[in-house]
Amino acid sequence: MNLFYFVAFLSIFFSLLVIFSKNPVYSVLFLIVTFFTFSVHYILLNAQFLAIVNFIVYMGAIMVLFLFVLMLLNLNKDTEPMKSSLLKIAGVVSGLCLLLTLVGAVKSLNVSEPLILKDPGIGLVKNLGKVLFNEFLLPFEVSSILLFSAMVGSVLLAKKDPKKI
């Protein structure tokens, strides 16, 4: 339980660093660390598949793409337009509305008894694979054929001369 609280503290700390960082590259790097702490939370909750997907998709692909785009844009204070005070006030008001909504949601929670799962192995990759390849084999294969055809179509659209197919 102490590890959970430590990782929760790190999640909150790095997410605050994402918000308050002045440099956008550092902000993306802190977001990658925040997603890593989310993966640790998933492992602690016995959801290994979600941890692996979070690690590969969000940390490995999307956040690296964000980092490359930010480095490509080369943002600095000269190229960034000045924000009006009306826009800043609207941001503060919307942030306070979000905070009020979160406080109301936390107050309405009923945490008198802990949640106990009927099947503790529900998030394991082994169990997910059994369900995926037994009950959902046909939709899984149809989606793989759909993704394959989309990949072939994107390669054909990206070709320079369509007559040389």
Write the pLDDT tens digit of every residue in 115-138. Answer: 777 777 777 788 888 888 889 889
pLDDT, position 164:
61
Res 2: pLDDT: 87
**Within a domain: 51:** yes
In a domain, 26, yes or no: yes
In the predicted structure, residue 145 carries a pLDDT above the cut 90: yes
Note the pLDDT of residue 78: 63
Is residue 70 in a domain? Answer: yes
- Answer whether residue 19 is part of any domain: yes
pLDDT at 13 over 90: yes
Q: What CATH number does the domain containing 57 carry?
A: 1.20.120.1200
Residue 104 has pLDDT above 70, yes or no: yes
* Residue pair 44/38 in contact by the 8 Å Cβ criterion: no
- For residue 149, is it within any domain? no
Tell me whether residue 106 is in a domain.
no
Q: Structural domain of residue 7, as residue ranges?
A: 1-75
Is 18 within a domain? yes
Note the Cα 63 to chain centre separation in Å. Answer: 9
More confident residue, 144 or 64: 144
For residue 34, count CB atoms less than 10 angstroms from its CB and return exposed for 0-12, middle for 13-18, buried for 19 or more. Answer: buried
Q: Which of 108-117, 128-137, 143-152 has the lowest mean pLDDT?
A: 108-117
- Beta carbons of 40 and 5 less than 8 angstroms apart: no
In a domain, 64, yes or no: yes
pLDDT confidence of residue 96: 94
Q: How many domains does the chain have?
A: 1
